[in-house]
Amino acid sequence: MPKKMRFVIGVSLVIAAMTYLIVTAVRNTAEYYLTVNEAEARQGKLLRQMVHLAGRVIPSTIQWDAPTMTLKFTITAPPPGDGQPAVTKVATTSPTLARFMIVSRGQPKPYMFAAGRDVIVEGILEDNMIQARQVLTSCPSKYSAKQNQG
């Protein structure tokens, strides 16, 4: 077999191996999340499965028990076309909106966790409740400057 042919075959095998490794790594590490509305629509299929769910914390539903490190709250979908920072524009508590109760045990409360904040929750879906393994907060998309007090 000529040297040039061996070289082409060798380079092809290396490229194929690198492509395979990249594709499998992306598949295994890519994490997708559902919105609250999507999860509600597919709740029957997702029951007792691990889900990643994105939503907004409903005000007045937050319960934090520091000694047991138990955080309970409810999330809903942000209003459509919401371009405002999550902290300033808060979801309504209308009973027609899809919502899920979140229970996180044994984890510290996330630093930026607050009412009206967008969160991503990873956990097991049970009937309209998620036993959370992890709660992640998202940073507001816009920051406002402090008012000068003087």
Residues of the chain with pLDDT under 70: 28-31, 81-96, 140-150
Residue 147 pLDDT: 62
As a whole number of angstroms, the distance between CA 18 and CA 22 comes to 6
pLDDT recorded at residue 80 = 72
Domain edges within the chain = 1-30, 34-137
What would the CATH number be for the domain defined by 34-137?
2.40.50.140
Whole-model pTM above 0.75? no
pLDDT of residue 2: 85
pLDDT at 57: 94
Residue identified by tokens 């904040």 is: 117
Question: What's the CA gap between 122 and 115, in Å, rounded?
Answer: 19
